[in-house]
Amino acid sequence: MNVLFVVSDDLTSTALGCYGHPLVQSPHIDSLARSGTRFDRAYCQFALCAPSRASFLTGLRPDFTGVLSNGPDFRDRLPHHVTLPQLFKNNGYQSIREGKLFHMGVPTTVGTDRWQDAVSWTHNGSPQGKEHNSKGEGRNLTPHIGQGVAMHWIRTPDASEQADFDAANRAIAHLEKHRNEPFFLGLGFVRPHVPFVAPGEYFDKYPLSKIKTFRNPDDDLADIPPIVPKTLGVTAHHMGMNQDQQMEALRGYYASITFMDDQLGRVLKALDRLQLRDRTVIVFLSDHGWHLGEHTFWQKRSLMEESAKVPLIISAPGQKARGQVCRSLVELVDLYPTVAELCGLKPPEGLHGKSLVPLLDNPQREHKATAHTQLNAGTTVGRAVRTKNFRYIRWRTPEATAEELYDHRKDPKEFTNVAASPAYQAELERHRRLTPA
């Protein structure tokens, strides 16, 4: 059994057609969902690139990997741990990386192999891309913010200068070269991470007249602990963008998604052309979610639903349920034991996840009672636990503790923090006990 393991960067599930977005065009991701299982309640373990990727590629939670920011390397703490792609390499597979699998600074280290853990791969490839230096019309909507966070869009004449286009070309070449031997192909797309760079035709799909910004209640932030916007820094309060600028940002984000989706489509078509689909496990995910104006927040690094929840689709040969939706709680840390089991490989002892394979045959099964996400911001430590009906968040600073509790039965957008409500004290106590110290 082969594996095509596809990771998109900064992609929220709320901006995909198969997850219900009325405008975004993602036909190839949608098609993949129809051929497999779409997970509706999948959660990352850390709402930031490096910690999340280190977690799901090692099968260990962030506190164990020691990667709690975008700087450290998990090998500093775990020099001998066998990663997911390394497991396949050790079992005779071609273990191939093209693009961002472990952490990669976007746009500054695109095209380099920094942090990509060479020991995990038989081929360690870094597709090239011009990023914010791409030719074409563009605008930085937040010039007061540095590259990598700034809401900067570029309408480029063609795709040839973009890392995702190069990544798809390289992936197709690997499929052709290794079609007769087992492979684990890790394909990392950098879009829709900022800067939003895509050929003009993708921007044309999203006229500003059709784009709607997110509407928050006027008093939405009144019951959110004051520490929360501080942990977000420049990505709170709409990043200083007015409504017209928010619409431009959304158009750039949507265009980037559809461009990335087309690159995935080219790879999937090659998989079919080479008659590899029937013996290839396909996993598609994002490293974390992304805010698009909810609570006035943009981007990642929050512990609320839009940032913690991720798109996750698995299509596996022989699975009994196809085109169905699984609403059980699952975590990205579950992917390592899942992919290993699907391919008949024995993973290392002590992984923190639980295989999702039973859900591919019966998506209605219960899987976990809780899903955990964490976040560190300076001296502030945040922990979130998602249960079937609630999200609980606890923030700790050296001086104080703050809490949030949201009832998803009544409040799926998390507008009302009921942590202080007498009617919810039993649930508050229960969720406190479920949250790690």
Q: Do 434 and 405 touch, CB atoms closer than 8 A?
A: no
Q: Can you point out the beta strands (E) in 52-199?
A: 94-99, 123-125, 137-140, 152-156, 183-188, 196-199
Q: Return the pLDDT at 258.
A: 98
Q: Where are the beta strands (DSSP E) in 33-91?
A: 37-43
Element housing 282 (H / E): strand 280-286
Output the DSSP codes for 168-228.
HHHHHHHHHHTTTS-EEEEEE--TTSSSEEEEHHHHHTS-GGG--PPPPPTTGGGGS-THH
HSE-CB at 30 with a 13 A cutoff on CA atoms is 16
Residues 46, 291: Cα–Cα separation, whole Å:
15
* φ/ψ (deg, to 5) at 226: -55, -20
Q: Give the bridge partners for 199, in sequence order.
A: 156
Distance between CA atoms of 173 and 267, rounded to whole angstroms? 10
Q: Which residue has the tokens 């090659």?
A: 270
**Contacts (Cβ under 8 Å, ≥6 apart) of 422:** none
* C-alpha closest to that of 313 among 290, 292, 336, 335: 335
Q: How far is CA 16 from CA 1, 48, 376, in A?
A: 28, 20, 28
Q: Where are the alpha helices (DSSP H) in 286-386?
A: 305-308, 335-342, 357-361
Angle at which helices 49-58 and 335-342 cross, to 10°: 40
pTM as predicted? 0.98
Give the CATH number of domain 2-368.
3.40.720.10
Q: Residue type for 13, please?
A: S
Per the CB < 8 A criterion, the answer to whether 162 and 156 are in contact is: yes
Which phi and psi angles does 204 have, rounded to 5°? -65, -25
| pLDDT for the residue numbered 437 | 83
- What is the residue-level pLDDT of the chain in tens, covering all 437 positions? 999 999 999 999 999 999 999 999 999 999 999 999 999 999 999 999 999 999 999 999 999 999 999 988 999 999 999 999 999 999 999 999 999 999 999 998 999 988 899 999 999 999 999 999 999 999 999 999 999 999 999 999 999 999 999 999 999 999 999 999 999 999 999 999 999 999 999 999 999 999 999 999 999 999 999 999 999 999 999 999 999 999 999 999 999 999 999 999 999 999 999 999 999 999 999 999 999 999 999 999 999 999 999 999 999 999 999 999 999 999 999 999 999 999 999 999 999 999 999 999 999 999 999 999 999 998 999 999 999 999 999 999 999 999 999 999 999 999 999 999 999 999 999 999 999 98
Query: How many CA atoms, within 13 angstroms, populate the side-chain half-sphere of residue 141?
Result: 26
Distance in angstroms (rounded) separating the CA atoms of residues 266 and 175: 12
- Which positions ≥6 away from 66 have C-beta within 8 Å? 72, 74, 76, 77, 78
pLDDT value for 413: 97
Catalytic residues: 49, 103
**pLDDT at residue 71, rounded to an integer:** 84
**CB distance 101 to 7 below 8 Å:** yes
pLDDT at site 255: 98
pLDDT at 408: 98
Domain ranges in the chain are 2-368
pLDDT at 391: 98
The pLDDT score that the predictor gives to residue 287 is 98
Predicted pLDDT of residue 174? 98
Residue 92: its pLDDT value, please? Answer: 98
Contacts of 424 by beta carbon, 8 Å cutoff, 6+ apart: 405, 407, 418
